[in-house]
Amino acid sequence: MPSKPKLRIGLIGSGFMGKAHVFGFASAPKVFDLPYDIELHTLADITMEAATAAANAFGFHSATDNWRALVDNPEIDVIDITAPNALHKEMALAAIAAGKHVYCEKPLAPLASDAIEMADAAEKAGVKTQVGFNYLCNPMLAFAREMIASGELGEIRGYRGIHCEDYMADATSPYTFRHDPAGGGALADIGSHALATAEHLLGPIAEVMGDCVTSIHERPDGKGGTRKIEVDDIGRAFVRFENGASGSIEGNWIATGRKMQHDFEVFGSKGALAFSQEHFNVLHFYSTADAKGLQGFRRIEAGPDHTPYGRFCVAPGHQLGFNDLKAIEVAGYVSALAGQGDEPFNFRKGAHIQGLVETIQASSSERSWRKV
Ligand code: NAD
């Protein structure tokens, strides 16, 4: 069998997302026909001990406690950043300057201006980029998007989008990088996913009216004291889409009991959709064309009719998992690196989402509507 060119990955960070990216790199070549053989080259983390343990567990050839060694290594093609938000810009700009392709977790950077600088640098250098908005990779979202675009729901009038979890609901849980005033907060951390999904389904948001709230004003600093919290625990916005639809978006990390409520509802003149990420292999569809007395939301189970589900499993209803979404994300990006299609969600798009976050925050401070 002719061998494919190698794509050598340098991964920064080995936490929650580092591991998810490794799952993506490991399964994408088995599920999709990729243009490259993926090689897990070097893993960087803060200490040599952490980097070596993760490199061994994940199957990387080598480990380092200096992420710059990855950037400087001519053997590495893609720098994959899963480190905390405040580090994304410095790492990505160094990688781009070294001519590497860059795959980076969301939010792309603490400030939209930083994210724009990163997108500009990547485009100027001609390198390809990807931001980790993995929920967009769900086959049921692709299906929902097609239904909306094809007119199945008629004229789209209303939208409700939400991303709620409760990982910050405990006021005694400590200050983390997610509370950093530069780019932290629930709206940036998870509301960004809700914004990306809303625009993926309905197109651009034109205007917002934000309401960002800090409910827990200080948290343990991990050294016996407390630290003031300046970022939002809840970020909400009324939104108007360019297509005329109106709606609301919420990002909330103190939503007690909610573990992964990345949900949406779309209301059209001929039908409606309802979706919850906690059951993300299911899409509910309501059609006004159904006979009277039989009308109601029908439950559609994900299956091979919903591309690319069938690549993972031939049987409907057997369900994909979170890490499979990362495999779909990796497959789209790796194909784009070989010129097979566009980058699914590049730095320019990531910068746009960061801009939406900041527009909502500014609108909340001014207590008035803002154009995007
Ligand atoms: P984490 O704390 O679990 O992991 C971060 C990793 O980065 C750790 O291994 C840490 O040691 C390492 N790190 C920190 N500083 C470093 C440095 N200077 N050099 C090398 N490594 C360093 O965090 P996480 O939950 O994986 O979040 C990481 C990123 O992923 C964040 O930007 C976050 O917003 C994003 N994220 C995305 C999703 C998603 O669904 N797409 C979900 C969770 C987190």
CATH number, domain at 107? Answer: 3.40.50.720
326 close to ligand 1 (CB < 6 Angstrom) = no
Return the pLDDT at 182. 83
* Residues 124, 143 within the same domain: no
Mark whether 41 and 66 lie in a shared domain: yes
**Mean of pLDDT over the chain:** 97
In short, whether 13's Cβ falls inside 6 Å of ligand 1 is yes
Query: Is residue 59 in some structural domain?
Result: yes
Atom of ligand 1 lying closest to residue 14 CA: 9
Same domain, 97 and 196: no
One domain, residues 99 and 75:
yes
Structure tokens at 94: 């160094």
Whether 321 shows a pLDDT value over 70: the answer reads yes
Examine residue 19 and state whether it is found in any structural domain, yes or no.
yes
Domain that holds residue 76: 6-134
Q: Is 167 in the pocket of ligand 1 (CB under 6 A)?
A: no
Tell me if 247 sits within 8 A of 158, measured CB to CB.
yes
> What total number of domains does the chain contain?
2
Same domain, 164 and 207: yes
44 lines ligand 1 (CB under 6 A): yes
Q: Is 82 in the pocket of ligand 1 (CB under 6 A)?
A: yes
Asked whether residue 285 falls in the same domain as residue 155, the answer is: yes
Residues 76-124 pLDDT 10s? 999 999 999 999 999 999 999 999 999 999 999 989 999 999 999 999 9
Buried b (16+ CB within 10 A) or exposed e, 326-358: bbbbbbbbbbbbeeeeebbbbbbbbbbbbbbbb
Cα distance between residue 161 and residue 44, in whole Å = 36
Q: 128 and 148 in one domain?
A: no
Residue-wise pLDDT for 323-347, tens only, equals: 999 999 999 999 999 999 999 999 9
pLDDT score for 184: 87
* C-alpha 268 – ligand 1 centre gap (Å): 38
Task: Answer yes or no: do 96 and 143 share one domain.
Answer: no
Residue 165 has pLDDT above 70, yes or no: yes
Minimum CA distance residue for ligand 1 atom 43: 17
Q: Are residues 183 and 307 in the same domain?
A: yes
Q: How confident is the model at residue 3 (pLDDT cuts 50, 70, 90)?
A: confident
**What CATH number has the domain bearing residue 262?**
3.30.360.10
Residue 117 within a domain: yes
**18-55 pLDDT, tens digit each:** 999 999 999 999 999 999 999 999 999 999 999 999 99
Predicted TM-score (pTM) of the model is 0.96
Distance 177 CA to ligand 1 centre (A): 9
